[in-house]
A and B are shown apart, each in its own frame.
Chain A
C-alpha cells in the first residue's frame, strides 16, 4: 500500500451502484426520449398522411362526382347523338321525287300498271338482334333496366305498290328493273294472283319496295 485512500469502501461501492443506476437511468431516458421522438414523428407523419389521404379522398369524391356527371353528360351526348342521327335519318333517306324517278326508270317499257301507290316513311321498335338481320336503319336506344334485350328504332322507308301486269314475265321484268335502281334497296312481292278482267287474264300484284336509306347522288 503506497497511498492513502480515505474514501470508505462501502461509500465507494454505493457510489458505484448509484453511478451504474444513473448510467442505466440515462440510457433508459435516452431510449424513452428516442422512442418518444420516433413515436411523435410517426404520429405527425401519420397525421399528415391521413390529412393527405382525406384530401385525396375529397378529391376522389369530386372526381367520382365529376365522372358521374361526365358519364351522365356522355350518356346525354350519346342519346342526343342518337336522336340527332334519328332525326337526320328522318330528314334523310330518299326523297319521294327521287324515288319516283327511279320507279319511272324501272317502269319504262314494262307491261305493268299501278292501281295504288303508297309512300311511307315510318319507324318501329324492334329487337336489335332481330333488326341486325334486316336491312333497315336503326337507332340503338339506351338499355332499360327491366329489359334484357337491347331495343332499336328501325326506320323503314318503303313504298307499297298495287297494280297489274300483263303476265308474270312482265312483273318479273319490272321487279328486276326496280332492283337495278340505286334508290331501291329491295323489292318484296307481297302478293300476286291471276285476275280475269274483261275476259283478259291479268296478274294482280302487290309489291313492297324498300328504298335505300342512303340518299342517292
Chain B
C-alpha cells in the first residue's frame, strides 16, 4: 500500500476542501472548494473522459493515476479526497429497529441487518443513517448501506495507489442531498427528489430535509432515450443528442421546424416510465412523512441538458422540475456556492456534494 504523505500539503490544504471525486459512466469528475470566504467557492474542477469502463479503470491504479495526475498537478491543492462508492457496489436497506433502552443503537441496527446478509457480517462494510423515530413507540427506521468489504478495500486501495488519500467514502445520493441542502431551496420540512439520468439507468432519490428516505434505480437511461430517437427519426446518435439539447428554444418561431415537439413525443414514453417510478416514490414518501409530498424534483445527469425533459416531466407529474447539472444552471444556487463560469461545465453535483462535506465539516 502506497501512502501519500498528506501532511506535506496540510498548510495549504486547510484553506481548501478535500477534493470531491466521483466516477461517472464515462468520466471522472473532480471538484475542490475554496473555504476561505463566507460562501464556498469552486477553486478547481475537472471532468476527465475515460476510455473504457470505470471497472476496468479501477483495476488499473497506474492508468487512473496517469489519467488524474495532470489535472491534480495543474489545478488542485493536496491529495485528500472524498469519494463515493459506485452505485453497483452497494445496496441500501431500510431497517426497522427498536431503540434499545440501554445499549448501542448500532448494535440494534446490525442485528436487523445480519438477517438479510449472506455470510458473516465481517465480510461487509455496513453503515446507517437514522431516518425516522416514532414518538409513540420505540420503533425506528434507518437507511443502511451494505457493501462488500473486499470491494470497498479494493476501491480504496486503487485510489490510494493512484496517489490519492481517501478521507471519507460515502454514496452518491447523500452527496447530492448535501448539495441540495446547501445550495438549493430545500429545508428540513419539505421533501424533494433528485432524478439522475445515467447512461444505462437512472436513479431516483427522495429526501426529507437532510434525510435520504428513498434511493431507487430505474431501468431507463440516456442510451435508451437516444436509441429511441435514432430509431424513430433514422438519425445518428450525435444528431439525436443535439436535438435533445436544442429542445424547444426555436420551436414556433419563423424559420424553425416543429421538430422539437416531435422529439418530445418520441421520448415521452420513456419519460413516463420515470414518472411512474416517481409516483411510486411519492406514495412511499407520503407514507413515511405523514403525507408530506415531494415538492420539487432536481434533474441531474444527461437529462439536465434536455429542456424538453423538464417540461414533459413537469406536465406529467405536476411537480416543479429543475436542472441541477451543471450546478450553475440552477439560478437559486448562486448565492450559496460561487462557481466561476469557466468551471461551470465541470462542476457535477455529486462531486460538488462530496467537496461540500469537507467545506461544511
How long is the Cα–Cα vector from A23 to B169 in the complex, in angstroms? 24
Closest to A9 in B: B125
B169 neighbours in A (Cβ, 8 Å): 4-7
CB of B3 within 8 A of CB of A15, answer yes
Residue A18 is within 8 A (CB to CB) of chain B in the complex:
yes
Closest A residue to B168 by CB, please name it.
A5
Mark each residue of chain A from 1 to 45: 1 if its CB lies under 8 Å from any CB of chain B, else 0: 111111110010001001101110010000000000000000000
| B129 is an interface residue with CB less than 8 A from chain A | yes
Q: Residues of A contacting B129 with CB < 8 Å?
A: 1-4
Chain B interface residue count, Cβ-Cβ cutoff 8 angstroms: 27
B139: CB under 8 A from chain A?
no
- A8 pairs with B125, CB closer than 8 A: yes
CA–CA, A94 and B153, complex, Å: 123
A3, A6, A11, A23: the one contacting B90 at CB < 8 Å is A6
- In contact, A22 and B127 (Cβ under 8 angstroms): no
**Cβ distance A205 to chain B, nearest Cβ, rounded Å:** 120
Across the interface, B156 reaches (CB within 8 A) one of A2, A11, A23, A26, namely A11
Q: How far is the CB of B187 from chain A (nearest CB, A)?
A: 16
Contact A4 B145 (CB under 8 A): yes
| Residue in A closest to B1 when the chains form the complex, CB atoms | A18
Shortest Cβ distance from residue B35 to the other chain A in the assembled complex, whole angstroms: 17
Q: What's the nearest-Cβ distance from chain A to residue B215, in Å?
A: 12
B340 to chain A, nearest CB (A): 27
How many angstroms between the C-alpha atoms of A128 and B153 in the bound complex?
108
Residues B5 and A23 in contact, CB atoms below 8 Å apart: yes
Q: Which chain A positions have C-beta within 8 A of B170?
A: 3-6
Interfacial chain B residues near A8, Cβ < 8 Å: 125, 149, 152-153
Also in contact, A6 and B210, with CB within 8 A (given A18-B1, A18-B3, A23-B5) = no
CA of A123 to CA of B134 in the docked complex: distance in angstroms?
Answer: 143
Measured between beta carbons, the chain B residues less than 8 angstroms from A1 are 127-130
For residues 43 through 93 of chain A, which have their beta carbon under 8 Å from a beta carbon of chain B?
Answer: none
Residues of B with C-beta under 8 A to A26 = 5
Closest A residue to B128 using CB positions: A1
- For residue B171, CB closer than 8 A to chain A, the reply is yes
* Distance (whole angstroms) from the CB of A84 to the closest CB of chain B: 86
- Chain A nearest CB from B142 CB (Å) reads 10
Tell whether, in the assembled complex, residue A6 and residue B3 are in contact, meaning their CB atoms are under 8 Å apart: no
Say yes or no: is B297 at the interface (Cβ < 8 Å to chain A): no
- Residues of B close to A2: CB separation below 8 A: 129, 210
For the complex with contacts A4-B170, A18-B3, 5 further pairs of A-B residues with Cβ separation under 8 Å are: A4-B171, A5-B168, A6-B127, A7-B166, A21-B3
13 contacting pairs across A/B (C-beta < 8 A): A1-B127, A1-B128, A3-B357, A5-B127, A6-B145, A7-B152, A7-B166, A8-B149, A15-B160, A18-B3, A19-B3, A19-B5, A23-B7
The 5 closest A-B pairs by CB, nearest first: A22-B3, A4-B170, A6-B169, A7-B169, A4-B127
Q: Which residues of A contact B (CB under 8 A)?
A: 1-8, 11, 15, 18-19, 21-23, 26
